[in-house]
Structure 1
Amino acid sequence: MKYFKLIVLLLTISQSLLGQTRWEASSQRQGIQVEQWTVHDVVYTLKKMPTNPFDKNVTATTIHGADTLQIPLFYNGGKEWILRFSGKEPGTYGYTLSGDLPELRGRKGSFEVTKNTKADRHGGVVVKKEDPKHFYYEDGTPYFNLAFECDWLFALDHGQKKLSKTDQLLSTVAQNGFKQVVMNVYSYDVSWKKDSLLAQHPEHEYGGREDIFPFLGSNKNPDFSALNVAFFQHLDRTMASLHDKELVSHLMIYVWNKMVNWPDMDTHADNLYYDYVIKRYQAYPNIMWDVSKEALYYGRATAEYISERIQRARKLDAYNRLISVHSYSFCSKHPDEVDFISSQDWSHPLYQKMLDAGKRFPNKPIFNIEHGGYEASPYEVFTGDYTDAEVCLRRNYMCLFAGSYTTYYWQGASWNAIIHNPFEQPASFPKPKFEYFAHMSALFKRYPFANFQANLGKNSSGYNLTDPKNGITMMYMPKENHSVMLLFLDLKEAPGHTMQWFNTLTGAFTPEEPFVRAKAEISPWRGQADTILIVKYGPS
């Protein structure tokens, strides 16, 4: 990602470092030419250091046509304050600074935003009024919210000059069709018993580190008087890597069951941390906010506290990024406060539960963020209820065919154990089935998920997604099905109607051929793989 830093000093351009370009400019007003949906830092260095710098509020009132953004600056250590900016639309964005710092008050600047030229970049994720059940990018392209859980991503390469492990893992994630990483700002450790094999591979253990902490001090001995800027500077690099690879960060700001020594709720330190996260990361187009993982579990937070956190984020976030809460209990009782409904549901009738959620909230995207399927890895980290790769895959399809979005968990990356290079491990280490999700993503690239609706009344013994506009029906058939009755399709065998099969394990498509009901009712991979029958209707 082009990631610019403008220091208001001299009119020279210095060397690039780690994907960042450092601009040194005179104090005269000068427009900075930037590209749409890229992230840029304007760094102001003060002559005099104020007391309690984290408590100082500075805002850039930014005007673009008829729109005005109130973008908060944030303290970056030393004597630096940063205005972090990204432009949603081409045009001129002029800004004026105001706030608590006399040296910055009244300073002006501008950005000249040019049209995006990166073919796979489409802007931030939004919900459209005309189709509130689905996610879209800002340019109108459907966003297929297929997520990959990696809670400790922030810890990869911490303290290192290069993000070699981070980049390798995220490249692998992106290459296998995932569009989002569900991650924590910070987690400390897990409370459950750890696999003894993990102790033999400390290179994969990221829990319990005392050298990583968002405040001063450490998790065992915290100093809540100030934040650890170096922690967030590293997280910046992780965010930039995600953005480079067009992966959305589903950023969970809190987590209650990972042994974090948090400050008390709604104290100065708590608010300082929360506000800083919103200020520092809102400019990234690839951000989605999540107040807390399992927000109302473990007896810590109240619904009133979570509601206040949502309001707080919306007040600070000039870019209006989407926000939700990892709690169906909260979302279902406060649907007007969140932009999409998050669900954690491990139940056996998962399809029906997700279908019910969609019916209950017809004007919100539904996102199953945790369905109890945690694919096995070399280490037994947390098994949940399902660990078999094919069963976990099926549960993801159950969510999709109920019209909701979904998340994949692999025990080798979801929590404190992270194998950043799983396909380079010894033969004795079982490999994850990431390719299953590459095939899933390819299917819904060919047939956009946003075009389809769950169709319970025409499921037969499988699951039905129907695209009424383009005349396409997809029937998901578990491999155990002997056959699936398709009388409800009400199709006459005619040359205009076609059929083909998709193998969920290999990604193979059979050739498209005329629809023949008797043939369509029996999967060619019966007993071998779950399959999807794709029927296209000919002219009526």
Structure 2
Amino acid sequence: MTKANAQSNDSQIKEYSTKKTLEQVITQQWEVNDLIFKTNKKIKDPFDKEVIAEVINPQLIVQKIPLFYNGNGEWIFRFSSSDVGKSTYKIVAPHLSFDGRKGEVIVQKNTKVDRHGSVVLKEEYPQHFFYEDGKHYFNLAFECDWLFALDYGKEELSKTKHLLKVLNDYKYNQVVMNVYSYDVKWKKDPKLGNHQEFEYGGREDIYPFLGSNSSPNYSSLNVDFFQHLDQVILEMHDHEIVSHLMIYVWNKGVNWPDMNTEADNLYYDYVIKRYQAFPNVVWDVSKEALLYGRATNEYISERIERTKALDAYNRLISVHDYGFCKRHPDEVDFISMQNWERALYQKMIDAKNEFKNKPIFNIEHGGYEEAPFQVFPGAYTNSEACLRRNYECIFAGGYTTYYWQGASWNVVIHNPFEQGEEFEKPHFDYFKHMANLFEKFNFENFEPLSWFNSSGYNLTNKKDGVVMMYTPKECQWIGVSKVIKQFDASEAKQLWFNTLTGEYSEEEPYNTAPFDFWYERPWKGEADVILIVKGLKEQKVN
């Protein structure tokens, strides 16, 4: 193979044009490579052609990876791997000139410090997410449905890059996004009229099929649309941000083809073929999959089965519909929740107890932090109230998603911290503090012992000897004695964590007085805090 355009820039897919001789491609673990096979003959219905790369990895396991049509007579074999060593491949493409082409890929050990592979599950920690290299994945998501649209039609993804860098800096490691959305159906803030540079809804020049959303042509796909999406997801990969890719959305004005038609299947299959090689992809069949009467349980189940049949990389899959996940838990890899109820913590605990072998991920909990424009207020807009609901998800042992009205839907302010003082800024820093806390104290080793809750919420880490209790800023006292009785606390230390600033109080010996209501906790009335007791040991049995 002759390397045509192997870029050194991390945010470029390595591209290789092919010839008949057998040569090597050299790459690193989890890098994305495009091997391009071209025919000069005009092919009828090229998107329908089944073209496969039969890959044999160093462990002699066969992987059948579908190629996808990229226009202009090009089929792309998109490849990434966690397996260090030599893999060989053979192209199976009946009636195409490159049928039978062979090659080798040498995969070297990853050298990118913050790259850890795709998100996977571990049998010994069934309710947590991990990377392929074994590191825990603290799934901290950010909703940005219109991310695909920020720089559409432009060579430089300047807005996309800026926003992703900001998210990366603040420790968000997942974006919940749509492959495509058209526009919202609710009313828009009149103030937005003077700031159309942040409006991405209703654009007729963006559509995954030929034609436009208003005048669709379902006969074929718009390759330009997907080539742009490639660059967006690749840029996310460069920033080590997972694309939680919702393939459909029903309430954003999209003119979809009818269910199970050739056009519907063509679109769905193409998404799976084109994006499965990205290690930073997690599948979601549809946002709010069963809320709007368009889809059925049977249809969603068939889409999941379809995904698993096509996806040679076995990326994780779920459905943004708790009812479906409850009825079909064996079909999804993790349980997706959407719950606005006041008793959010208890609902998360109930889900964790019901599905003991799967992670619980609350994608949408009704907290949509306010922005310069009112986009969708939901149930909670105050920044501290939104933060508290995210902590309720975390202290129930689940994972969570943060929404800011300035970026979650059709309005995307990609550079909020470069705006003037009149623009209300998002509190991204609150979530950076959260991520830092649970990276320091190993979230994967904690369990919510809800029966030990007092005036707050408990997480207990028996492995590392740490107990946490979350308490609202209005609360004077929080008791942990019921939990600490499980341990030898003779050498334990306690400290407090400020959820708004990320500050820790000074460490001091654990306070053993069980009813010391007069003990002044720090930051009372200023911030929700977390009491951390560490240095706990197993009780010695006499």
* Alignment TM-score, normalising by the size of structure 2: 0.95
| Aligned-pair CA distance for 1:22 | 4.3
Residue in structure 2 matched with residue 4 of structure 1 by the alignment: none
Matches of 2:106 and 2:194, distance apart in 1: 53
Q: CA deviation at 1:119?
A: 1.1
Q: Does 1:112 align with 2:110?
A: no
Which amino acid in the other structure matches residue 535 of structure 1? Answer: V
For 2:399 and 2:174, locate their aligned partners in 1 and report how far apart those are by CA, in whole Å: 11
Q: Which residue of 1 aligns with 2:531?
A: 533
Secondary structure, counterpart of 2:369 in structure 1: coil
Query: 2:511 is aligned with what amino acid?
Result: V
For 1:377-456, what aligned pairs fall within 5 Å after superposition?
377-456=371-450
- Alignment match, 1:368: 362
SS at match of 1:409: strand
TM-fit CA distance, 1:397? 0.1
**Is contact 1:493–1:517 with CA below 8 Å preserved after alignment?**
no
**In structure 2, C-alpha distance between the alignment counterparts of 1:190 and 1:24, rounded to whole Å:** 41
Alignment of 1:250 with 2:250, yes or no, is no
Structure 1 position 13, deviation (Å): 6.0
Match of 2:194 in 1: 200
User: Partner letter of residue 272 of structure 2?
Assistant: I
Provide the residue aligned with 1:3 in structure 2: none
The DSSP-based 3-state class of the residue aligned with 1:110 is: strand
Structure 1 contact 295–325 (Cα < 8 Å) conserved: yes
Deviates further, 491-500 or 527-536: 491-500
Aligned to 1:462: 456
| Residue 495 of structure 1, CA deviation | 5.5
Determine the C-alpha separation between the residues in 1 that align with 2:13 and 2:489.
59
Q: 1:176 aligns with which of 164, 170, 181?
A: 170
C-alpha distance in 2 between matches for 1:213 and 1:538:
57
Does the CA-based 8 Å contact 2:15-2:34 persist in structure 1?
no
Moved more, 115-124 or 275-284: 115-124
The alpha-carbon deviation at position 494 of structure 1 amounts to 6.3
1:112 Cα deviation (Å)?
0.5
The SS at the match of 2:323 is: helix
Structure 2 runs not aligned, ≥5 long: none
Give the whole-Å Cα distance in 2 for the aligned partners of 1:11 and 1:268: 36
Partner of 1:42 in structure 2?
A: 35
Q: Where does residue 495 of structure 2 map in the other structure?
A: 500
Say if 1:37 and 1:116, in contact at 8 Å, map to a contact too: yes
Aligned to 2:12: 19
Distance 1:135-1:493 versus aligned 2 partners, 3 A rule: closer
Going from structure 1 to structure 2, the CA distance change for 1:504 and 1:94 (only over 3 Å counts) comes to same
DSSP 3-state at the match of 1:474: strand
Structure-2 change in CA distance of 1:130 and 1:104 (3 Å) = same
Q: Are 2:312 and 1:318 aligned?
A: yes
Q: Is the 8 A contact 2:17 2:35 kept in 1?
A: no
Amino acid at match of 2:87: Y
* CA displacement at 1:23 relative to structure 2: 4.0
Give the distance between the partners of 2:210 and 2:418, measured in 1 at CA.
36
Give the one of 31, 42, 67 matched to 2:24.
31
CA contact (8 A) 1:486 1:517 kept: no
Q: How many corresponding residue pairs?
A: 532
Q: Provide closer, same or farther for how the CA distance between residues 20 and 66 of structure 1 changes in structure 2, counting only shifts above 3 A.
A: closer
Are residues 16 and 179 of structure 1, via their aligned partners in 2, closer, same or farther at CA, if it must alter by over 3 Å?
closer
2:332 to 338, 359, 363: 338
CA distance in structure 2 between the partners assigned to 1:249 and 1:12 by the alignment: 28
Q: Which amino acid aligns with 1:502?
A: F
1:234 aligns with 2:224: no
The CA deviation at 1:14 is 7.4
Instruction: State percent identity of aligned pairs.
Output: 58
Secondary structure in 1 matching 2:497: strand
Is 2:143 the partner of 1:149? yes
Deviation at 1:483, TM superposition (A): 1.1
Query: 1:12/1:71 Cα in 2 relative to 1: closer, same or farther (>3 Å)?
Result: closer
Distance 2:355 2:43 in 1: 49
Q: Is the 8 A contact 2:15 2:35 kept in 1?
A: no
Distance (whole Å) between structure 2 residues aligned to residue 102 and residue 488 of structure 1: 70
Cα distance in structure 2, aligned partners of 1:20 and 1:341: 32
Q: Specify the alignment match of 1:516 in structure 2.
A: 511
Q: In the TM superposition, what is the alpha-carbon distance from 1:493 to its structure 2 partner?
A: 10
- Report the aligned-residue RMSD: 1.7
Distance of 1:189 and 1:470 partners within structure 2? 48
Q: Aligned runs of 1:76-115 on 2, under 5 Å? A: 76-115=70-109
SS in 1 for 2:314: coil
Task: Please give the per-residue CA displacement for 1:151-195, whole angstroms capped at 9, x wherever unaligned.
Answer: 000001001110100000011011111110000000000000000
Match for 1:467: what amino acid? N
Q: Structure 2: which amino acid aligns with 1:507? A: G
Given that 2:17 and 2:37 are in contact with CA atoms closer than 8 Å, whether structure 1 keeps it comes out as no
Q: Shift of residue 15 of structure 1?
A: 7.3
1:260–1:24 Cα change, 3 Å: closer
**Other-structure match for 2:48:** 55
Aligned partner of residue 404 in structure 2, secondary structure: coil
Instruction: Output one character per residue of 1:444-470: Cα deviation in whole Å (capped at 9) or x when no partner.
Output: 110121110011111101000000111
TM-score normalised by structure 1 residue count: 0.96
Change (3 A) 1:233 1:11: closer
Q: Cα gap change, 1:147/1:63 in structure 2, threshold over 3 Å: closer, same or farther?
A: same
Distance 1:378 1:94, change over 3 A: same
Q: Matched residues in 2 for 1:174 and 1:76: separation? A: 30
CA contact (8 A) 1:493 1:515 kept: no
- What's 1:327 paired with? 321
Question: Contact 2:13–2:32 (CA<8 Å) still a contact in 1?
Answer: no
1:339-376 Cα shifts (integer Å, max 9, x gaps): 00000000000000000000000000000000000000
Contact 2:14/2:32 (<8 A) preserved: no
> Compared with structure 1, are the counterparts of its residues 496 and 199 closer, same or farther at alpha carbon in structure 2 (3 Å cutoff)?
same
Q: Secondary structure of the equivalent of 2:320?
A: coil
CA distance in 2, matches of 1:160, 1:217: 19
The 1:392–1:13 alpha-carbon spacing in structure 2 relative to 1, beyond 3 Å, is closer
Q: Residue 114 of structure 1 aligns to which amino acid in structure 2?
A: Q
1:307 and 1:200, CA in 2 relative to 1: closer, same or farther beyond 3 A?
Answer: same
Question: Whole-Å Cα distance in 1 between the matches of residues 479 and 4 of structure 2?
Answer: 72
- Post-superposition Cα deviations, 1:35-86, rounded to whole Å, max 9, x if no partner, equal 0011000001112120111111100010112311110000001111000000
Q: Structure 1 residue 285: deviation in Å?
A: 0.4
Question: Distance between the aligned counterparts of 2:520 and 2:82, measured in 1?
Answer: 49
Query: Which region of structure 1 is more displaced relative to structure 2, 81-90 or 98-107?
Result: 98-107
